[in-house]
Amino acid sequence: MEVFSIVPRGYCKGVVRAIEIAKKASHLDDDVYILGMIVHNQYIVNALEDLGVHTIDIKGKTRLELLDEIDHGTIIITAHGASDEVFIKAKEKGLQIIDASCLDVIKTHDLIKEKIENGFEILYIGKSGHPEAEGVLSIQKNKIHLISSKKDIDQLDPHQHYVMTNQTTMSLYDVFDLCEYAKEKLQHVIIEKETCTATKIRQEAIRNMSNDIDIVFIVGDPHSNNTKKLASIARQNKEVYMIESIDDLNISVLKGKKKVAVSAGASTPTYLTNQVIDFLKQFDENCIETYHKPKIDKTKIL
């Protein structure tokens, strides 16, 4: 097959930083725990577990509630960031803290705190239940409004003074649409877009792929918001499949296809993406020998 490897793709600087921090922490004498998934990729979580770094992630529980599961040792704050309440509670419990928050997320927190101090209310475009949104909403609950759709904007006081910003991994096209709608509906709104550069250029690369691509694979974890946004953008005019790894690639969907494109979420290990690319390059639907998929070597994940 003819394979187009969309670039840039895969790891962003925040993910690289978080993984390196967790790997270094594995050498500590202390028990080491990660408060939630370090980044949204189960392969990385499992690989860190093999190094002795334990992920505490219970569906429905906030970072603050997850701290109740840890009574000793060192905790790592994930790349998604956390509220000041989490840091305070961890210190009160006598836990050592290692902060692996993405620097872009910290920048958004600082922006929001500054704007609240200056008398604004915050409109935060984000995904309910996402750990990054959770951390932001905890900054000052009565001053921050989660915006997931235009209906949320319709319910606001149009005379209030707002600053609108967003979760760093949101679709830049969805953010633009909601910001434009807010400017139409609200008398006093300042736009401070915070989509990180890595997210932005990956989404633009997907949007600008060649028109003659027959099928697209986005490699990434189903928990990853930025991975799902890449797939959503590609689906506007392509046949798209989100897969975690080569194991999830359904060979039957390749039949009759000539040109395939591959991209990956910002938390997807390069090794997993390259396995998919290499397999597709050698695939020939008329040659049964090319149907054999390679096994995943878990030691290469990190």
In tens, the pLDDT along 164-223 reads 999 998 999 999 999 999 999 999 999 998 878 888 999 999 999 999 999 999 999 998
Q: How crowded is residue 27: how many other Cβ atoms within 10 Å of its Cβ?
A: 9
> Cβ(242)–Cβ(227) under 8 Å?
yes
Any idea where the domains of the chain sit in the sequence? 2-10+198-300, 13-102, 104-195
192 is catalytic: no
| Topology alike, domains 2-10+198-300 and 13-102 | no
Residue pointed to by tokens 């961890």: 90
In CATH terms, 2-10+198-300 corresponds, of 3.40.1010.20, 3.40.220.10, 3.10.129.10, 3.40.50.1100, to 3.40.1010.20
In CATH terms, 104-195 corresponds, of 3.30.428.10, 3.90.1310.10, 3.40.1010.20, 3.40.50.720, to 3.40.1010.20
C-alpha angle 256/260/265, rounded to 5°?
A: 140
Q: Does domain 13-102 have CATH number 3.40.50.11270?
A: yes
Residue pLDDT tens, the chain, 302 long: 999 999 999 999 999 999 999 999 999 989 999 999 999 999 999 999 999 999 999 999 999 999 999 999 999 999 999 989 999 999 999 999 999 999 999 999 999 999 999 999 999 999 998 999 999 999 998 999 999 999 999 999 999 999 999 999 899 999 999 999 999 999 999 999 887 888 899 999 999 999 999 999 999 999 898 999 999 999 998 999 999 999 999 999 999 999 999 999 999 999 999 999 999 999 999 999 999 999 999 999 99
- What was the pLDDT predicted at 264? 97
Nearest in space to 257 (alpha carbons), one of 209, 212, 215, 210: 215
In tens, the pLDDT along 275-302 reads 999 999 999 999 999 999 999 999 999 9
Write down the catalytic residue from 49, 69, 132, 239: 132
